[in-house]
Amino acid sequence: MSRTTEPSSSQPFVSLVGAGPGTPDLLTLRGLQALQRADVILYDALLEPDFAALFREEALALPVGKRCGGGTPQEHIHELLLTHAKPGVHVVRLKGGDPLLYGRGGEEAQLLEAFGIPFEIIPGVSALQGVASASGIPLTHRGVSRELRVLEGHHLLDDTVDWEELARFKGTLALFMATRSVQGIARRMLAHGANPSHPVALVERAFCEGQVTTISTLALAAEGHLCCRTEGPGLVLMGAVIHERTRPFASHFSVTHIHDPATALHRSERSPRAAGGRGERRAG
């Protein structure tokens, strides 16, 4: 589908653009085209510096990111959007991952709508897909997991959660913003009957310099062994799909740290039935 709205000299225009998980070459072509037209770019400070090479030299580029609650408050980002969105000006709000997944893109869209400012939303590769491809851990796998549940770990321990149901969940759990709370979450799940050997993976800096994947278990995570090895960001995956990790083709795909060797078998080391997909396997 082609674009239906274009910036005009009488109106401002804002593009909310998903930058992908880290590296500029995972930006979509449409996102790149918006960047190359932009007069003003408000970009997440978490993004790798390489993105700056894609900005027009004449563009005004302002870092506005947040990390762990610090950085530019969302209200200030809103003010900047309204200040710069003037007639004839194309503003790009470049956001990590996808704008509408834990990205507050929905709030920014509501703001623009409330002020009658024309805008578009350009999707990005979320960290969810990024960590899966970077680590080779599938999010779903035939015969193993047909369900994916995405959660936010930062407030999970304070939220009203049906922990028994979560502990019984047979699909894949993806936990954003959970590197600091993973120990508490693992403890809570074990207390509600989860299997201590349930596989857990922490993928840090997917598609960024210094990418690291650690494979562990719920029991070890509950004891505090699943810790960040980088400054982050990191995403936690839980589920039997971790056993289905695909054989890495390049060294940067490798799992770098393994707490439980049983969870880290290469495909060729398991039975061909399990790897070949003809035999159904149950989630453990």
Active-site positions read 44, 66
Q: Which residues contact 186 (CB under 8 A, 6 or more apart)?
A: 200, 218, 219, 221, 222, 226
Asked whether position 31 contacts ligand SAM by CB under 6 A, the answer is no
DSSP 86-99: -TT-EEEEEESB-T
Asked whether position 103 contacts ligand SAM by CB under 6 A, the answer is yes
**Residues 164-183 close enough to bind ligand SAM by CB under 6 A:** 176-177
Nearer to ligand SAM by Cβ, of 66 and 192: the residue is 66
Asked whether position 130 contacts ligand SAM by CB under 6 A, the answer is yes
Cβ 82 vs Cβ 14: under 8 Å: no
Which amino acid does the sequence have at 116? G
Nearer to ligand SAM by Cβ, of 102 and 163: the residue is 102
Cβ 160 vs Cβ 138: under 8 Å: no
Q: Which residues contact 219 (CB under 8 A, 6 or more apart)?
A: 186, 190, 196, 197
Asked whether position 97 contacts ligand SAM by CB under 6 A, the answer is yes
**Distance between CA 13 and CA 150 in Å, rounded?**
32
Q: Among 7, 12, 22, 171, which residue interacts with ligand SAM (rule: CB under 6 A)?
A: 22
Nearer to ligand SAM by Cβ, of 39 and 108: the residue is 108
Asked whether position 24 contacts ligand SAM by CB under 6 A, the answer is no
Site for ligand SAM, rule CB under 6 A: 21-22, 96-98, 101-103, 126-127, 130-131, 176-177, 203-208, 233-235
